[in-house]
Amino acid sequence: MSDIPVNANEDNEAKETVSRNFIENEIDKDLKEGNYTSVHTRFPPEPNGYLHIGHAKSILLNYGLAKEYGGKFNLRFDDTNPTKEKTEFVDSIKADVEWLGADYEDRMFFASDYFDQMYEAAVKLIKKGKAFVCDLTADQIREYRGSFDTPGKNSPYRDRSVEENLELFDNMKNGMYKDGEKVLRAKIDMASPNINMRDPVIYRVAHMSHHNTGDKWCIYPMYDFAHPIEDAIEGITHSICTLEFEDHRPLYDWVVRELEYEYPPRQIEFAKLYLTNVVTGKRYIKKLVEEGIVDGWDDPRLVSIAALRRRGFTPESIRMFVELCGISKSNSSVDYAMLEYCIREDLKSKRPRIMAVLDPVKLIIDNYPEDKTEYFEVPNNLENEGLGTRKVAFSRELYIDRDDFMIEPPKKYFRMFPGNEVRLMNAYFAKCVGYETDENGKVTVVHCEYDPETIGGECSTRKVKGTIHWVSAAHSVPAEVRLYENLVDEEKGVYNEEDGSLNLNPDSRKILKDCRIEESVKGAKAYDSFQFVRQGYFCVDVKDSSDDALVFNRIVSLKSSFKL
Ligand code: ATP
Ligand code: MG
């Protein structure tokens, strides 16, 4: 989406054309030619699962267009299918759309509220001689339909009279037939090169309760018939959907034309968003949830919107991501690293940078007084002075990260090892003078001596190559930290070629129970995020964290080879 307003002046015209996507170009043309006088879009989820990052693209595209053209945006639950829908999903979808900032105001609708109008529309088609009740079985219908290179055959029921069709359709509605016994079909063209146009089924018998209309109906409209009607009823101008519906567009146009809507909506398709090595697609996410491979729809390893939110992604980062992806007519896959780039960009100057030790080992400063505590005033974010400063406690016993110490370091290792001096970030220079191990040779304590002259970590007479972070043992708080990696094995790809199963990464979640974080983190609430210096961005978990037992999710590490 471009940020350039529609009424940008002539001087900007060249620039404007370059940055506008093809949907904007189509809308511009429609407005110029007077096909429409305003823009009205919708997001039409089926409430059969949680939304994912792909839906975020669709939401932000539709909402963004409505906003850009000063038009309207509807949230419409496409709940015409009585089998799979649940109110749990309706609630989660609303929450996700709102969180993304796509304000639908009071424009929330349910397609099932239009069942009466859809029924009337079907009757209208019958009266026009454009629809007929067919007694062929599902298998026969498929057989009669032909294939890509063979034309279809007319159903023997195709020439029923209008009166007979009206009566039979009424009987269908009144529950006189079993599921599958009869269907209503559009009468279009069995020889059409487009199979979707070969007398498609538009209504079926299904004796099922619907979550909204209960047992009122035992016939339900098919998607290709229902969707254009939903759009037309709501006054949608541009019905934006994904590429797999391109071949259905002639049917969409046929429905709105035959029903003679005064302002027929128009369908425009764009390519779905796919992420490399990431499981998108409601069906697959559902499987992971149901098989217990992840802990629910909001498991932070998923890319459902609920999961991204829980992990610590912000609406701003998702918006940036969607804009960077752009809108296209051909399917392609975007690297997950780009999403990571966006959250880093968003948080980098917004959130405080604090010290956290994820795998602690004790560091004792032998020459520091036992009962002393010093406080260093430290900026919260060097790139954003507005975030102010905080006081960080320093004392004789600290924790440092285990991998910041080595007994026998390789070349180019500049952190703590016996005899080496490093900077304890913001505090002092300290030189390693020894260490203790347990019976297995595991290091339990590192000893060092500090130089009081290097207060603040500054020294004019000598340099050190390594700077490490630390927390004061007595002034830090314990926390659990969860590190995430890709859910699927990147080497092998998402799907197993032989049986289509997922290639799972066994190390997709690592739980660190004994982390220590500087005490400024106390009072952090769900969704609060921080940069832990040298480690990455972390967010307080909404489900499992409490004031006394903090739990953090790693949103993203600091480093990446990703370049824009
Ligand atoms: P999935 O394929 O994940 O099961 P869906 O298409 O069945 O999703 P719907 O609830 O029917 O899910 O989708 C609502 C809207 O979101 C539709 O307009 C659909 O085209 C769009 N959408 C779904 N997946 C993507 C995606 N990956 N990228 C962009 N838009 C998407
Ligand atoms: Mg769908």
In this structure, the answer to whether residues 429 and 548 fall within a common structural domain is yes
Q: What is the distance in A from the centroid of ligand 2 to the CA of 541? A: 30
pLDDT of residue 8: 39
Q: Which of 43, 55, 59, 223 to probe ligand 1 with, by most ligand atoms within 8 A of CB? A: 55
Domain boundary among 270, 288, 320: 270
Tell me how far the alpha carbon of residue 395 is from its chain's centroid.
Answer: 44
In this structure, the answer to whether residues 195 and 298 fall within a common structural domain is no
In this structure, the answer to whether residues 323 and 391 fall within a common structural domain is no
Range of the domain at 191: 36-270
Nearest CA to ligand 1 atom 1: 281
pLDDT digits (tens, 9 = 90+) for 526-564: 999 999 999 999 999 999 999 999 999 999 999 877 777
Nearest CA to ligand 1 atom 26: 54
Residue 85 lies in a domain: yes
Q: What is the distance in A from the centroid of ligand 2 to the CA of 48? A: 9
Q: What is the atom index within ligand 1 of the atom nearest the CA of 48?
A: 10
Q: Are 280 and 274 in contact (CB under 8 A)?
A: yes
Tell me how far the alpha carbon of residue 334 is from its chain's centroid.
Answer: 13
In this structure, the answer to whether residues 249 and 156 fall within a common structural domain is yes
pLDDT of residue 279: 87
Q: What is the distance in A from the centroid of ligand 1 to the CA of 138? A: 27
- Give average pLDDT by consecutive 10-residue segment, the chain, 564 residues: 41 54 97 97 94 97 98 97 81 97 98 98 98 98 95 97 98 98 98 97 96 95 98 98 97 98 97 91 87 94 97 98 95 92 97 98 98 97 97 98 97 97 98 98 98 95 96 98 92 80 90 98 97 97 97 94 75
Structural domains counted in the chain: 3
In this structure, the answer to whether residues 327 and 372 fall within a common structural domain is no
Residue 26 lies in a domain: no
In this structure, the answer to whether residues 500 and 533 fall within a common structural domain is yes
pLDDT digits (tens, 9 = 90+) for 207-261: 999 989 999 999 999 999 999 999 999 999 999 999 999 999 999 999 999 999 9
Residues with CB under 6 Å of ligand 1 are 44-46, 54-55, 57-58, 241-242, 272-273, 280-283
Q: Which of 89, 110, 242, 494 to probe ligand 1 with, by most ligand atoms within 8 A of CB? A: 242
With a CB cutoff of 8 Å and minimum separation 6, the contacts of 32 are none
In this structure, the answer to whether residues 311 and 424 fall within a common structural domain is no
Residue 13 lies in a domain: no
Q: Alpha carbon of 8 to those of 4, 5, 14, 16, 104: distances in Å?
A: 7, 5, 11, 8, 26
Residue 30 lies in a domain: no
Q: What is the atom index within ligand 1 of the atom nearest the CA of 281?
A: 3
In this structure, the answer to whether residues 339 and 359 fall within a common structural domain is no
Residue type, 29: K
Task: Read off the tokens for 423.
Answer: 């900077």
Q: What is the distance in A from the centroid of ligand 2 to the CA of 121? A: 23
Residue 14 lies in a domain: no
Domain boundary among 202, 235, 270: 270
Q: What is the atom index within ligand 1 of the atom nearest the CA of 59?
A: 16
Residue 377 lies in a domain: yes
In this structure, the answer to whether residues 265 and 298 fall within a common structural domain is no
Which secondary structure element, helix H or strand E, spans residue 274, and what is its range? strand 273-275
pLDDT of residue 496: 81
CATH number, domain of 328, equals: 1.10.1160.10
Q: What is the atom index within ligand 1 of the atom nearest the CA of 274?
A: 27
Q: What is the distance in A from the centroid of ligand 1 to the CA of 55? A: 5
Q: What is the atom index within ligand 1 of the atom nearest the CA of 44?
A: 14
The residue length of the chain stands at: 564
Nearest CA to ligand 1 atom 16: 55
Q: Alpha carbon of 13 to those of 4, 9, 29, 93, 242: distances in Å?
A: 10, 7, 14, 38, 29
Q: What's the CA gap between 450 and 427, in Å, rounded? A: 10
Nearest CA to ligand 1 atom 13: 45
Domain boundary among 253, 270, 287: 270
In this structure, the answer to whether residues 408 and 289 fall within a common structural domain is no
Best CA proximity match to 288, nearest among 273, 303, 308: 303
Residue 12 lies in a domain: no
Q: What is the distance in A from the centroid of ligand 2 to the CA of 49? A: 10
In this structure, the answer to whether residues 400 and 456 fall within a common structural domain is yes
In this structure, the answer to whether residues 447 and 313 fall within a common structural domain is no
Q: What is the distance in A from the centroid of ligand 1 to the CA of 4? A: 27
pLDDT of residue 306: 96
Q: What's the CA gap between 423 and 469, in Å, rounded? A: 9
